[in-house]
A and B are shown apart, each in its own frame.
Chain A
Amino acid sequence: MVFSGSDHRTSDFLELLQKERPELLSRSGTGAFGTTPLPDSPAASADFRAFRYAELKGQRVPTPSLMDLYDSLLEGTTILAAVYNEGVIIAGDRQATAGFQVGERRIRKVYEVDTYSAIAIAGVAGPAMEMAKLFQVQVEFYEKIEGSPLSLEGKANSLSNMVKSNLPMALQGLVVVPIFAGYDLKRKQGKIFKYDAIGGQYEESEYYATGSGGKDAQATLKKLYSPDMSRDGALKVVAEALWDAADEDVATGGPDFIREIFPTIKVIDSTGISDIPDEDVKTLYTELLDRLRN
């Protein structure tokens, strides 16, 4: 602990870590979330370029060591968010894949940030989960230091900075893409912010899905979505979108009735954030399956 009575004082936890404990932010100098530039690693990047080139030309090449490493990393798959008449829903499947294997069946990709917001993550799971954890601390740290919470837009911008500082890793193919959703207490509505791999931030007024099955989920949302949906109506649409993502995308996990694993769904409205319990998600899918069978 540093007694910083007269020192520089910040309410930005990321800045604090960069100053006090930069080693916590980097993977031996790769600069994840940090500002240290990527060290020259000609071997690694040459491997990667060779692989990308061969891949683009549709060739199968002897897998270089770096690709073995990439294949061993967990990837998060489908996440989505949708605004409904009283707030916003944010959800994700529970599977992570490593190469062509199921790497993890029960991973969580949607995290509560504070009472009125949540983050969902897709991309390389390790750094993505770390980003979610860091973001949660970032928002809470600000609130405690300043005595009042960040605005929803302020939280979204600070997440953009985190994605941005992951750029060196993204350029190596280790991409992290979050969705941020929350209830804006001032404007009394649910809001969604999406990000690209280099930290570009865009507000979505209706719905958004990303990750490997994002496109399929997005297609379903597009067909079934209407902005004045009620909470229950929106939950049905979200469940169906995740179902279609799992149906079309091999990497996305569907509801698993044998192991009792169901997608994570969180709802945020003016009363705060709440989890939809597993039993309720199970019911949503039982009903969906009944509909699909008929």
Chain B
Amino acid sequence: MPAPYYVSPEQIMQEKEDFARKGIEKAKEVIVLEYRDGILMVAENPLATVFKISEIYDRIALAATGLYPDYEALRYAGIQGAEIKGFTFNREDVTARWLANQYSQQIGAIYRQPDMKPLEVELLLCEIREDSSSNNRIYHLSFDGTFWEDNQYTVIGGRADEIAGILENEYSDGLDLSGAVRLAARTFETIEAEADEAERYQVTAETIEAAVLDETLNRRKFKRLLPDELSEILSA
């Protein structure tokens, strides 16, 4: 019997990392901004019914980028886990911290499986504050299961670092909703213009997808911004 080829663990992990990074590099970005009444999520997405941003639970939303079947499965698992937990205990016992840990374990386990491809995803798990005495939470999850907390503004996707660089200069606290949407749109326009200077890219309600976690809403804080609302904000 021939001996199996030996590949060092370092090399296996390096190859997995390269594979996942390559997948995410191609992905369009999602910008998440904290604004006066909560958290705004904006994605470049020309599709009207295939979403990158979705509601998970009362105060929790997921923004995802990467390979659709990978993050769609995570979205489903998140809603499923959250609803079962809320039904077993109480709705307020479902927290983003708990869910981020669940995701981290699952994504990490798949990443370490020798015969599985790593998930080509980058996620932002957002949770709006309970009241003015607590803080919003934005958990940034990577393809290997590691995660950390972001605040104010954050970006996932291929050109995340460049976009975050633009936001660093432009972002300010206490933006209202339309201010925050326009900032995100402007940022997308800037980065697209840099990428292709000949053709200036125009963000419209049809080229982006946007949703908020709005603390002024009742139990379900998640709301999609409809094309009409977006057009009104963008044209103002």
Contacts and interface: CB of A to CB of B under 8 A. Distances in A.
Interface of A: 1-5, 9, 13, 16-17, 20-21, 24, 133-134, 137, 140-141, 144-145, 147
Given A144-B54, A144-B55, A21 B84 contact: yes
Contacts of B207: none
- Classify the interface of chain B: helix, strand, loop or mixed: helix
B51 A145 contact: no
A110 to B, nearest CB: 16
A141 B106 CA distance: 22
Contacts of B83: 13, 16, 137, 140-141
Q: For the side of the interface on B, what is the size category?
A: 20 to 34
B51 A141 contact: no
A13 B86 CA distance: 12
B79 interface: yes
A134 B87 contact: yes
Nearest to B51: A147
A2 B80 contact: yes
A170 to B, nearest CB: 22
A16 B76 contact: no
A9 B69 CA distance: 13
Contacts of B102: 1
A3 B106 contact: yes
Contact of A1 (B54, B87, B88, B106): B106
Interface in B135-162: none
A150 to B, nearest CB: 15
B77 interface: yes
A4 B87 contact: no
B74 interface: yes
Interface of B: 49, 51, 54-56, 69-70, 73-74, 76-81, 83-84, 86-88, 99, 102, 106, 110, 220
A194 B198 CA distance: 64
A5 B84 contact: no
B225 to A, nearest CB: 15
Given A16-B84, A144-B55, A1 B76 contact: no
Given A4-B73, A5-B69, A137-B86, 12 more contacts: A1-B102, A2-B81, A3-B73, A4-B77, A5-B77, A17-B84, A24-B88, A137-B83, A140-B220, A141-B79, A145-B76, A147-B49
The 10 closest A-B pairs by CB, nearest first: A1-B81, A5-B73, A3-B106, A1-B102, A3-B77, A144-B79, A141-B83, A144-B55, A1-B77, A137-B83
Contact of B87 (A3, A9, A17): A17
A9 B81 contact: no
Contacts of A1: 77-78, 80-81, 84, 99, 102, 106
A237 B86 CA distance: 38
Contact of B79 (A17, A134, A145): A145
Instruction: Give the residue among B51, B56, B74, B83 with the most A Cβ atoms within 10 A.
Output: B83
Instruction: Give the residue among A1, A21, A24 with the most B Cβ atoms within 10 A.
Output: A1
A24 B54 CA distance: 27
Contact of B76 (A9, A13, A17): A9
12 contacts: A1-B106, A3-B73, A4-B76, A13-B83, A21-B88, A133-B87, A137-B83, A137-B87, A140-B83, A140-B220, A141-B79, A141-B83
A202 B147 CA distance: 51
Contacts of B79: 141, 144-145
Nearest to A6: B73
Nearest to A1: B81
Contacts of B74: 3
B51 A2 contact: no
B73 to A, nearest CB: 4
A20 B84 contact: yes
B191 to A, nearest CB: 28
A16 B80 CA distance: 8
Contacts of B54: 144, 147
A9 B72 CA distance: 11
Contacts of A16: 80, 83-84
Nearest to A130: B87
B76 to A, nearest CB: 6
A146 to B, nearest CB: 11
B96 to A, nearest CB: 13
Contacts of B87: 17, 24, 133-134, 137
Contacts of A147: 49, 51, 54
Contacts of A5: 69-70, 73, 77
A133 B88 CA distance: 11
A58 to B, nearest CB: 44
A154 B90 CA distance: 26
Nearest to B106: A3
Contacts of B55: 144
A132 to B, nearest CB: 12
